[in-house]
Amino acid sequence: MNVQHFTITNLTCSACAKVCSLILKKIEGVHSVTIDDATGHTTVVADRPIEPSHFRDELALEGYQVG
């Protein structure tokens, strides 16, 4: 398993964190996503390393930013 960490910078509530989690879980190979809705700190567990730009691009489609 591969664990990756990053921050989503423009979360405003727990509903935003849930939406982001659903977006990230749709990426092939992702097994779990944990997002702290207060800080935006995100942990993704996947079966392989995933390019950070892939996370950034998928979240950007819905208006979220990775810092």
Helical H runs in 3-64?
14-25, 52-60
pTM for the full predicted model: 0.93
Domains of the chain and any CATH numbers: 2-60 (3.30.70.100)
pLDDT tens for the 67 residues of the chain, in order: 999 999 999 999 999 999 999 999 999 999 999 999 999 999 999 999 999 999 999 999 999 999 9
Collapsing DSSP to helix, strand or coil, 62 comes out as coil
